[in-house]
Amino acid sequence: PAKVRLRHLQEAKEAGRTFSMLTSYDALSAQVFEEAGIDVLLVGDSAGTTVLGYDSTVHTTHQDMLTFTGAVSRAVRRPLVVADLAFGTYQVDAAEAVRHGVELLRAGAEAVKLEGGAARADTVRALVDAGIPVMGHLGFTPQSVNALSGHRVQGRDHAAADSLAEDARALQDAGAFAIVLELVPSEVAGRITEFLEIPTIGIGAGPDCDGQVLVWQDMAGLSGFEGRFVRRFADLRGELLRAASDYRTAVESREYPTAEHSFE
Ligand code: KIV
Ligand code: NA
């Protein structure tokens, strides 16, 4: 199958074909997701919580993102690899944003994602002008978890929905190629998806977005996260627990290893 590029996501929207994105932070999961035909791999700053054990993505650093981006990009050929700009690497000024964006592309990303709307439009434009494709991220923006008073659905009232729509338009006008909508009422996400020319990618944003994304450990039931918007497509936690317990029992009972696992 052909390498996924920006234009394929645009073509999918125009043809009414929904596409899939999953997070990935390591070579092995990336290879599995490529084989499964996932179109976009997001090296999300959620790595800080899912892999590194922090309680929010505020703690994920640029160096973390470079490391995980390298691991994923070295492992796959077909999916589009998008990497998050870490908290603090694009808010100070556009020049810093471009410098960090360049480093993510050098690490193997093909596009970057940043959080925020109209306030980030000039930064998005600077990145795009530098040849760095930008995915936007609106609604609940995890790097602002403290400012937003926790994980909450955004854009519920009319004024908030209108400002979300304005932010989406500002990102599109600034040159963003797609926008993630996180924790947004379905009806609001559907309306934004309809008026935007570029694709939307939903997480907790209902069925009407052009694409969908989940954190892979939530999707596969490894994290144990039970948000309303998550469907667990496997019970990896249960499976891994069973394997580790069986391994322990086999070791303690000397049932493993046997001669067939040993060298003469
Ligand atoms: O970091 C991440 O996993 C994300 C997705 C939830 C969109 O930004
Ligand atoms: Na993120």
- Please name the residue that has the structure tokens 């939307």: 200
Active-site residue, from 34, 103, 110, 182: 182
Whether this model's pTM surpasses 0.95: yes
Tokens of 138: 């609106």
What letter would DSSP give residue 68? H
What's residue 226's pLDDT?
Answer: 87
- Please name the residue that has the structure tokens 């810093």: 96
* The amino acid at 60: T
Buried b (16+ CB within 10 A) or exposed e, 109-140: bbbbbbbbbeebbebbbbbbebebbbbbbbbb
Query: Of all protein residues, whose CA lies closest to atom 1 belonging to ligand 1?
Result: 44
Residues with CB under 5 A from ligand 2 (ion): 44-45, 84
What's residue 1's pLDDT?
Answer: 81
- Alpha-carbon distance of 212 to 232, in angstroms, equals 14
Ligand 1: residue of 33, 213, 214, 222 to mutate (most ligand atoms within 8 A of CB) is: 213
- CB of 215 shorter than 6 A to ligand 1: yes
> For residues 202 and 179, is the Cβ–Cβ distance under 8 A?
no
Q: Is 96 annotated as a binding residue?
A: no
CATH architecture of 6-233: Alpha-Beta Barrel (3.20)
What's residue 246's pLDDT?
Answer: 98
Q: What is the pLDDT along the chain (264 residues), one digit of tens a residue?
A: 899 999 999 999 999 999 999 999 999 999 999 999 999 999 999 999 999 999 999 999 999 999 999 999 999 999 999 999 999 999 999 999 999 999 999 999 999 999 999 999 999 999 999 999 999 999 999 999 999 999 999 999 999 999 999 999 999 999 999 999 999 999 999 999 999 999 999 999 999 999 999 999 999 999 999 899 999 999 999 999 999 999 999 999 999 999 999 999
Domain ranges in the chain are 6-233, 235-264
Q: Cα(214) to centroid of ligand 2, in Å? A: 11
What's residue 250's pLDDT?
Answer: 98
- Alpha-carbon distance of 264 to 260, in angstroms, equals 10
| Cα 95 from chain centre | 24
Q: Cα(82) to centroid of ligand 2, in Å? A: 10
ipTM of the complex, rounded to two decimals: 0.99
What's residue 86's pLDDT?
Answer: 98
The total number of residues shown for the chain amounts to 264
